[in-house]
């Protein structure tokens, strides 16, 4: 069985490698960006991909689904600290290739997800399932209104500025800006900065002339 670790968190990658190597037949490859992942999938089309979506360079779930569809024999285990209910519904409803577990969940869930993927079945953790079921109507509701500060931070994100740069310009701590970013992501129901900008453009929160990334 071929596995592709697409997780840029070193500690998690180390733990997963040790877990997978308990199976002497497992062959583990590493991917550090989308291009590298696609290259490995070309060589190992039926591999199991273990992906932390929030730490990888997929711009949105559409791009993720396109890659999964392109390599239809592959199985994917999404392993992240947190994923929005909107993202979970979109991915889970669009493809049976995806299993979902969380990094702070029980080890048994991760084992079961990997076992299910090896049998070409999917595994949805209880936490992910509850998020999907309990918020079915969330997509039809308007997100919470961004504050003026949050809108300004969205503009800065659109200009390609880092959290550190935004904190410096606003005379704030990196921790404060990180908290604002998390609140923005939660309100807009997104997982990445690119998705924030796409939403902000559609909603008219920022002008297209401010979009630089």
Q: What is the pLDDT of residue 191?
A: 84
Residue 145 pLDDT more than 90?
no
Average confidence score pLDDT of the chain: 88
Q: Kindly indicate the confidence band of residue 51, based on its pLDDT and cuts at 50, 70 and 90.
A: very high
Q: What is the pLDDT of residue 208?
A: 63
| 135 vs 36, higher pLDDT | 36
> What are the structural domains, with CATH classification, of the chain?
2-134 (3.40.50.2300), 148-210 (1.10.10.10)
Which ranges in the chain belong to alpha helices (H)?
10-20, 34-43, 61-70, 85-94, 107-118, 126-134, 148-158, 163-169, 174-188, 193-203
Residue 207 pLDDT more than 70?
no
Q: What is the pLDDT of residue 213?
A: 45
CA dihedral defined by 118, 120, 126, 132, rounded to 10 degrees? 140
Which tens digits make up the pLDDT trace of 110-143? 999 999 999 999 999 999 988 888 766 555 555 5
Which tens digits make up the pLDDT trace of 158-195? 888 899 999 999 888 999 999 999 889 888 878 888 88
Q: 61-65, 129-133, 142-146: lowest mean pLDDT where?
A: 142-146
> 61-70 vs 34-43: helix axis angle to the nearest 10?
10
Radius of gyration in angstroms for the set of CA atoms belonging to the chain, rounded to a whole number: 18
Which tens digits make up the pLDDT trace of 68-116? 999 999 999 999 988 888 889 889 989 999 999 999 989 999 999 999 9
Burial of 26 (0-12, 13-18, 19+ CB in 10 A): middle
CA distance 94 to 25: 31
């Amino acid at each position: 069985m071929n596995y592709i670790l697409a997780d840029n968190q070193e500690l998690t990658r180390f733990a997963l490698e040790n877990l997978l190597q308990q199976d002497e037949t497992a062959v583990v490859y590493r991917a550090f960006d989308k291009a590298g992942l696609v290259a490995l999938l070309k060589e190992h089309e039926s591999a199991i991909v273990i992906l932390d979506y929030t730490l990888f360079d997929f711009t949105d779930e559409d791009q993720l689904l396109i890659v999964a569809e392109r390599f239809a024999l592959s199985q994917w285990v999404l392993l992240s600290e947190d994923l929005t209910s909107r993202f979970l519904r979109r991915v889970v409803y669009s493809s049976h290739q995806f299993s979902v577990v969380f990094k702070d969940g029980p080890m048994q869930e991760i084992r079961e997800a990997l076992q299910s993927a090896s049998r070409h079945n999917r595994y949805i953790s209880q936490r992910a399932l509850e998020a999907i079921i309990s918020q079915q109507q969330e997509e039809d509701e308007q997100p919470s209104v961004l504050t003026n500060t949050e809108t300004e931070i969205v503009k800065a994100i659109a200009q390609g500025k880092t959290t550190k740069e935004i904190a410096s310009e606003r005379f704030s701590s990196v921790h404060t800006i990180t908290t604002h970013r998390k609140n923005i992501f939660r309100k807009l129901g997104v997982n990445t900065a690119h998705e924030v900008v796409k939403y902000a453009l559609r909603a008219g929160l920022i002008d297209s002339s401010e979009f630089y990334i």
